[in-house]
Amino acid sequence: MAAIRPRSTVSAWKPSVPGIAEVFHARFTEHAYPAHVHDTWALMIVDGGRVDFALDRERHGAGVSDQVILLPPGVVHDGRTVTEAGFRKRVLYLDTSVLPERLTGAAVDAPLLADPVLRERVHGLHLALALGEGDSFEAQSRLAFVRERLHRWLTGREAPAGGPSGREVALRLRELLDARVTEGITLEEASAELGRALGGRVHPTQLIRSFRTAYGLPPHAYLTGRRVATARRLLLAGVRPAEAAVAAGFYDQAHLTRHFGRHVGISPARFARSGRF
C-alpha cells in the first residue's frame, strides 16, 4: 500500500506592522512555482525539507540550516520541491521602506545568508507576528533588528546610527510610553518624535538598545507591564474584564488574559473576584 503524502497547507495574513506586506507560512509536497517576480523583498527560512530555486537564472538550494534566503523585488525567480517529503517555509514579504531597491544587486549576488543570529531574529519576528494585532509594537521592534542585520549583509557596514544616545534617549522614550499607555505608539513614530525633541536622528535599534541598557527590558515589554498595571486598577474598581482590556490599551480580552496571566499568575476575571468576600 502506497504511503499517503501529507497535503500542502498555507497560512497567510497581513499584519499591522509597517514594512511587512504579508506573512506566508506553507508546507508544500509537490509544488513548483513558475518563474515570476515580486514587488517586495521575500525573506524566507526553511523549517523542514529542502527547496530549490533559480534567481536571475542561477540555481540555488537550501534546507534546514542557519541560512536565510533573501529574494529582491523585481528579479525573476522560481521555486520547487526537491525531495519526496517536500518542504516547510516561513516567508516575510517586506516593502522597500525596510530595504531600498538600490540593494537589489547585492541580494542577487548572494541570496543565501549563512547567519544564525539573523535566522534567530527572523524566527523571533515570526513568533511575535503570530501573537496577533495587539503585540505589533514587539513585532516592530524585532523587525528593526532584522532590518539592521540585513543592511549589514547587503552593504558590508552597520546601518547608520542616530545622533543622540544613551540615558537621555531612554528617559525620553519612557516618558513618551508613559504618556501613551492606552493608545500606544509605533516604533517609527517614537523615533521621529524623539529625533525632533533631541535634535538628531534616533534610529529604532538605537532607541531599543538605549532603553534596554537603562531599564533592563525592551520598550514593548515595559509598555505591556504598564498596561497590565492599568488593567489591575480597573478590575479592582469593578470594571468588567472586556472593558478593562480596551481601556488599558489591549487589543481585546483574550490579549489582556494572555499577558495578565504571565504578569499576575491568574486570569483577569479571577483577579477581579479574588477580593470579593
Q: Domain check: are 204 and 236 in the same one?
A: no
Q: For residue 171, which amino acid is it?
A: L
**CB burial readout 98-135, b (16+ within 10 A) else e:** bbeeebbebbbeebebebeebbebbebbbebbebbebb
Residue numbers of the domain that contains 26: 9-155
Residues 89, 209: one domain?
no
Question: What phi, psi does 53 have (nearest 5°)?
Answer: -145, 155
Cα gap 222→114, rounded to integer Å: 33
Answer whether residue 223 is part of any domain.
no
| Same structural domain, 48 and 150 | yes
Residues 105 and 139 in one domain: yes
Domain assignment of residue 1, yes or no: no
pTM: 0.86
Domain identity same for 144 and 262: no
Q: At 108, which CATH number?
A: 2.60.120.10
Q: CA-to-CA distance for 70 and 273, rounded, in angstroms?
A: 51
pLDDT in tens, 240-275: 999 999 999 999 999 999 999 999 999 999 998 886
Kindly state whether residues 146 and 249 are assigned to the same domain.
no
Please check whether residues 135 and 195 belong to one and the same domain.
no
* Residue 182 belongs to a domain: yes
Nearest 5°: phi and psi at 69? -100, 130
CA neighbor of 169 nearest in space, from 145, 201, 136 = 201
Within this chain, do residues 184 and 267 fall inside the same structural domain, yes or no? no
Query: In this structure, what are the phi and psi dihedrals at residue 10, rounded to the nearest 5 degrees?
Result: -140, 140
Residues 147 and 178 in one domain: no
How large is the angle between the packed helices 219-236 and 204-215, nearest 10 degrees?
A: 60
- Cα–Cα distances (Å) from 249 to 132, 142, 200, in that order, read 14, 20, 30
Per the structure, how many domains does the chain have? Answer: 3
The string of pLDDT tens digits covering residues 233-242 is 999 999 999 9
127 shares its domain with 242:
no
Among 111, 134, 155, give the residue marking a domain's end. 155
CA distances to 73, 142, 246, 259 from 252, in Å: 36, 22, 6, 11
Question: 136 or 200: which carries more pLDDT confidence?
Answer: 136
113 lies in the same domain as 190: no
Convert the pLDDT of each residue in 139-188 to its tens digit: 999 999 999 999 999 988 655 554 555 788 999 999 999 999 999 999 99
